[in-house]
Structure 1
Amino acid sequence: MTTESFGVPWEKGYGYVQAVRHGDTVRLSGQVAHDGTELVAPAPVDEDGRVTDFSRTGEQLRQCYANAAELLRRFGASLDDVVEEVIYAVDVPSADAAAGPVRKEAYGRPDPRVASTMIGTPRLAFPELLVEVRFVAQV
């Protein structure tokens, strides 16, 4: 078994790795919109930590796929090897509107060959996050 991480503080704090390869399967932890320790396109939140605008969903989703591609590259794989994804969304209508174009762009084809599920959730690890994507790849 081999693993990969980004070295962000929350990996050590929570206690996990970003990716695990066991045999010919690579499983990625849920990828969020970060570039290093900085959140990408953070959603505005009110004083109670509730999102007030979901318009950055597509930008965040794009970064989730970029992070996944980087992790897969470390195993000699790519998004072409992904067989399953689960998208966790704070606002399903916004995620659904963004997911089609962003996924097609990320996978480089009009008909991504990947099993995909979208799940609504009230909140993610950081209040400014709108989406998180978990991946499974076969290499």
Structure 2
Amino acid sequence: MTTTLNKQTANLGVAWEGIYGYAQAVKVKDTIYISGQLSHDAAGNLVAPAALGADGKPRDFDAMAAQMRQTYVNAVALLKQFGATLDNVVEETLFVLDVDAAFKVAGEVRKEAYASAQPAIASNLIGVSRLAFPEQLIEITFRAVLPD
């Protein structure tokens, strides 16, 4: 007996959804899984791209907070497609090129995004060697749960 899993998907209309072939978010039952979000605008242009050095890597991490803020904006847009908000988020994972730079701004940006001095969110901060775009400093995945 084969059972089909009922999935609903959401996208933001950026080119790499089709190029890479994935959904920005998938809802199964009461849970929304949001793919790694980055700081792009509606046209797919990176907001606050990091300046690159001669080696093709970011020269500094000054744009971390601005990229993080736009990443939350994009997550909000996806959640809204399912009738959810950041209040429904139960877990997030931040993938960053520089843990110290992220840690320095993450508290302020997260508290601002979740409108809480101590958001009720399980959060992971993971340092990585590379992200999808050279000018990208951060990518965040989210898991949200809708009420019964």
What band does the TM-score fall into relative to the shorter chain? over 0.9
Cα deviations by residue, 1:13-44 (Å, 9 ceiling, x for unpaired)? 11101000000000000000000211000000
- Offset of residue 7 of structure 1: 1.3
Q: In the alignment, is residue 53 of structure 1 matched against residue 67 of structure 2?
A: no
Match of 2:3 in 1: none
Report the counterpart of residue 119 of structure 1 in structure 2: 126
2:132 is equivalent to residue 134 of structure 1: no
Normalising by structure 1, we get a TM-score of 0.98
Instruction: Choose which of 21, 32, 37 in structure 2 pairs with 1:26.
Output: 32
| TM-score where L is the length of structure 2 | 0.92
Q: Is 1:5 matched up with 2:11?
A: yes
* Deviation per residue, 1:59-97 (Å, 9 max, x gap): 000011110011001100000000000000001100001
Aligned to 1:98: 105
d(CA) in 2 for partners of 1:9 and 1:136?
Answer: 23
Per-residue deviation, 1:53: 1.2
Aligned residue pair count: 139
Which residue type is aligned with residue 34 of structure 1?
H
Match of 2:144, SS state, is strand
Unmatched 5+ stretches in structure 2: 1-6
Could you tell me the percent identity over the aligned residues?
50
Could you tell me which runs of 5 or more consecutive residues in structure 1 were left unpaired when the two chains were aligned: none
Residue among 66, 71, 82 paired with 1:75: 82
CA RMSD of aligned residues (A): 0.6
List structure 1 segments (4+ residues) > 3 angstroms apart after TM superposition: none
| Cα deviation, residue 135, structure 1 | 0.1
